[in-house]
Amino acid sequence: MDKLSIDMNKCTGCGLCEIECGFNQVISVQDGKVRYNNSSNCIECLHCFKICPNSAINYHGEVQAKIFDSDEQVNAVVTRRSCRNFKQVSIEREVLTNVINVANTAPRFDCSFDERKFIVIDDKEKLDGVRSIVLSQIDKVKKFFIILVKNPFLSKSKKAEYGVIIDLFKNILEKNKKSDALFHDAPALVMVTGQKTKSTAKENSLYAMSQFLIEAEEQGIGTCINGFVSFFSKAVQKYLGIDNAYSIQCAVVVGYPGNRFTRHLVRNDTSIQWN
């Protein structure tokens, strides 16, 4: 049984779920109604479930749905979701500076305060440049994996694993022909870099980014983590001229959200192990 189902009587074909669907586009609107196209490619991000204003999309996993109450102050840790629909409005640098200052109160292992640095790209030309570089790297890796899966000595499990990567990268490149599949037209990219010589650079960067995401949510700023920027960090750093003593540890696109989620999920306690 698919974990997602659609109540056609409630669906109005508004298309919000299609906008929110990720790279694989398993949700789409056809003939004025939502269709669940390919359940095997669904990563269960559940954005379609949360964004639907009519509760037409149902999820049958081990979670409970909760409807947002506009008069209720819901914790930003619970409500924060990846934003894939940004308003075309710039974020004031003062606002981002305040969020970063809060993020920098996160624990760190280096008392010199030089182990991690935030880098903000809010210039459209530079954002376009970073996007182009990352997409070109994705295309190169896709072609590399296509060659790998042709190896007759490669195990079936590896071929399946690489096949998923190839499909994902193909979908990103194909979707990008119609819209910004990588940054979702966000007005800014925020990166946390760490000193290469420090063994705790990754942890320190992640601590700060975690607090950044929560504080951004509190300030009404949408965020979407982008692992491709950090994965292809060498190419990105070369383009941006980032100090070689540092490396990009994590990255997130930010902007004012053009969507509003109407439901969030409450996980049950099956993921907890008591000893």
How high is the mean pLDDT of the chain? Answer: 86
Q: At 198, is the pLDDT very low, low, confident or very high (cuts 50, 70, 90)?
A: confident
204 with 144, same domain?
yes
Domain assignment of residue 87, yes or no = no
75 with 114, same domain?
no
Q: What is the pLDDT of residue 34?
A: 83
Q: What is the pLDDT of residue 267?
A: 64
pLDDT tens digits for 227-247?
Answer: 999 999 999 999 999 999 999
Q: Tell the residue number behind the tokens 């934003």, with chain if given.
A: 83
Q: At 139, is the pLDDT very low, low, confident or very high (cuts 50, 70, 90)?
A: very high
Q: What is the pLDDT of residue 76?
A: 67
Q: What is the pLDDT of residue 1?
A: 56
Structure tokens at 57: 């999309």
pLDDT tens digits for 18-51?
Answer: 888 766 678 888 888 888 776 667 777 778 888 8
Taking the C-alpha atoms of residue 220 and residue 213, their distance in angstroms, rounded to an integer, is 11
59 with 99, same domain?
no
Count of residues making up the chain: 275
More confident call, 8 vs 96: 96
Which CATH number characterizes residue 185's domain? 3.40.109.10
Q: What is the pLDDT of residue 72?
A: 52
149 with 21, same domain?
no
- The answer to whether the beta carbons of residues 103 and 212 sit under 8 Å apart is yes
Domain assignment of residue 84, yes or no = no
For the chain, what is the domain count? 2
Q: Over 80: is that where the pLDDT of 155 sits? A: yes
17 with 57, same domain?
yes
Give the pTM.
Answer: 0.77
pLDDT tens digits for 75-109?
Answer: 667 778 889 899 999 999 999 999 999 998 888 77
47 with 113, same domain?
no
Which CATH number characterizes residue 21's domain? 3.30.70.20
Q: Over 60: is that where the pLDDT of 209 sits? A: yes
More confident call, 221 vs 40: 221
17 with 105, same domain?
no
Q: Between the CA of residue 133 and those of 129, 152, 165, what are the distances in Å?
A: 6, 32, 19
58 with 98, same domain?
no
111 with 196, same domain?
yes
- The answer to whether the beta carbons of residues 133 and 236 sit under 8 Å apart is yes
SS (H, E, C) the chain: CCCEEECCCCCCCCCHHHHHCCCCCCEEEECCEEEECCHHHCCCCCHHHHHCCCCCEEECCCEEEEECCCCCCCCHHHHCCECCCECCCCCCHHHHHHHHHHHCCCCCCCCCCCCEEEEEECCHHHHHHHHHHHHHHHHHHHHHHHHHCCCCCCCHHHHHHHHHHHHHHHHHHHHCCCCCCCCCCCCEEEEEEEECCCCCHHHHHHHHHHHHHHHHHHCCCEEEECHHHHHCHHHHHHHHCCCCCEEEEEEEEEECECCCCCEEEEECHHHCCCC
Q: Could you tell me the residue range of the domain that residue 182 belongs to? A: 93-255
Average pLDDT over residues 50-65: 75
Q: What is the pLDDT of residue 20?
A: 80
97 with 231, same domain?
yes
pLDDT tens digits for 107-133?
Answer: 877 655 677 899 999 999 999 999 999
Q: What is the pLDDT of residue 169?
A: 92
Q: Over 90: is that where the pLDDT of 222 sits? A: yes
